[in-house]
Amino acid sequence: MIHQHMKWEAPEFTDERILVIGGAGFVGSNLIKSLREHSPSEIVIVDNLLSSERSSVHVSPEITFIEGSIADDQILQGLTDDFGYIFHLATFHGNQNSIYDPLADHENNTLTTLKLYERVKNFKKIKKVVYSSAGCTFAENTLNQTVAIREDSPLPIYSDTPYQISKIIGELYSNYFYRQYHLPVVKVRFQNVYGPGEILGAGKWRGTLATVWRNVIPTFVYCALKKWPLIVENKGIATRDFIYVDDIIRGLMLCAIAGIPGEVYNLASGVETSILNVATLINCLTGNTAAIQYGPKRIWDHSNRRFGSTVKSKRELGFEAKTSLHEGLSQTIEWTQQNSSLIDACIQKHSVHMENAPCSERPLEMCRIS
Ligand SMILES: NC(=O)c1ccc[n+]([C@@H]2O[C@H](COP(=O)([O-])OP(=O)(O)OC[C@H]3O[C@@H](n4cnc5c(N)ncnc54)[C@H](O)[C@@H]3O)[C@@H](O)[C@H]2O)c1
């Protein structure tokens, strides 16, 4: 099936000023590509390039890029009350780095949300604020969960990582500012997003090899293209719900247009896929004949099987993920091949840190990339 770039009528964004925090990142840069198709008057990006590259920032007359943290008082004071939509996508990426540096996570994943909401709580023009939360935060800490995680599934109070705690706090602040100030925040919980634009090694060193080997799909695609063995943790029995980035972008925009303030929506494929199946499919699509190797379980990760419920977002937003894993992976592989020099350069800049980082769970090639 030929991939079609998503495009649909969304006059709501036309002539609007839109603020995208974290707009240089993987999801953010894809979102901006789509928002531009709807002729907003201006898109303002605030991003400190902690886990992204300047080259991912779109350059165009209608785009203003402010490099810095959204927790910076001067940047906050510079925001004026004429934004129609705000997408808050900034985060301290990701789970493992947040274990290594919980204070950096707090600064870039919790304080960011509080300071942003404090600044905009009395803005009059805002139609919607979309807050990106994470499905992993709401996964029960069980080893064999197979029930779809719904929006009203119980919130586990024993989180696996500071990242997950920050995401919960972000949701709680979203609820508070909605009730107290009528800030029209819609919360969106993503499952595992993958696709073009996720650059391994993007941004600054954040303490662990997860700076480089972000999520499982870009890591497997990169390694498979190098003909390295894919390392599957815990016998590959863990499952995840993989959702292609174009679907996430359409869902984010639908949440901005039709999401009800104060509500939360899952953006999920609803399909449970084992990590072993992902590895096998990627090897097949890239022609990688190196045998899969098995590594130990990640000690911090207590969520073995999980996937998101699609019922509410389908019923209330008409949202459904459309891209099959096969099609999405093919697109991701093609993009990775086309951008191999950029990805290699981004990985390479961390080589000094990688040499010294603990890497017992990774093949040697992945720790000594140079
Ligand atoms: N990718 C996924 O699988 C996934 C899953 C669940 C939730 N999410 C959420 O989606 C959002 C986007 O994720 P992504 O995958 O694009 O990650 P990303 O790391 O590519 O993007 C996050 C962006 O936020 C920026 N940032 C960090 N601290 C900042 C600060 N203090 N001020 C301004 N910008 C700052 C980073 O530089 C980066 O550009 C995040 O909130 C993340 O928690 C992503």
pLDDT confidence of residue 356: 75
Q: Does ligand 1 come within 6 angstroms of the Cβ of 91?
A: yes
93 lines ligand 1 (CB under 6 A): yes
Domain boundaries defined on the chain: 12-198+241-271+303-324
pLDDT at 1: 35
**10-residue averages of pLDDT along the chain (370 residues):** 56 97 98 97 98 97 98 98 98 96 98 98 98 88 75 90 97 98 98 98 96 95 96 86 98 98 98 96 98 86 87 98 98 98 96 74 49
Report how far ligand 1's centroid is from the alpha carbon of 109 (Å): 9
Nearest CA to ligand 1 atom 11: 89
What is the number of the ligand 1 atom nearest to the C-alpha of 56? Answer: 39
**Residue among 19, 20, 27 whose CB has most ligand 1 atoms within 8 A, to mutate:** 27
pTM of this prediction exceeds 0.85: yes
- Residue 2: per-residue pLDDT: 37
Residue 98, ligand 1, Cβ within 6 A: no
Kindly state which CATH superfamily the domain 12-198+241-271+303-324 is placed in: NAD(P)-binding Rossmann-like Domain (3.40.50.720)
Q: Considering only CA atoms, which residue is closest to atom 13 of ligand 1?
A: 27
| pLDDT the model gives residue 137 | 86
Q: What pLDDT, on a 0 to 100 scale, did the predictor assign at position 301?
A: 80
Does 69 contact ligand 1 (Cβ within 6 A)? yes
CB of 95 closer than 6 angstroms to any ligand 1 atom: no
Per residue, the 3-state secondary structure of the chain, as one string, reads CCCCCCCCCCHHHCCCEEEEECCCCHHHHHHHHHHHCCCCCEEEEEECCCCCCHHHCCCCCCEEEEECCCCCHHHHHCCCCCCCEEEECCCCCCHHHHHHCHHHHHHHHHHHHHHHHHHHCCCCCCCEEEEEEEHHHHCCCCCCCCCCECCCCCCCCCCCCHHHHHHHHHHHHHHHHHHHHCCCEEEEEECEEECCCCCCCCCCCCCCHHHCCCCHHHHHHHHHHCCCCCEEEHHHCCEECEEEHHHHHHHHHHHHHHCCCCCEEEECCCCCEEHHHHHHHHHHHHCCCCCCEEECCCCCCCCCCCCECCHHHHHHHCCCCCCCHHHHHHHHHHHHHHCHHHHHHHHHCCHHHHHHCCCCCCCHHHHCCC
* Number of the ligand 1 atom closest to the C-alpha atom of 215: 3
Ligand 1 contact via 221 beta carbon (within 6 Å): no
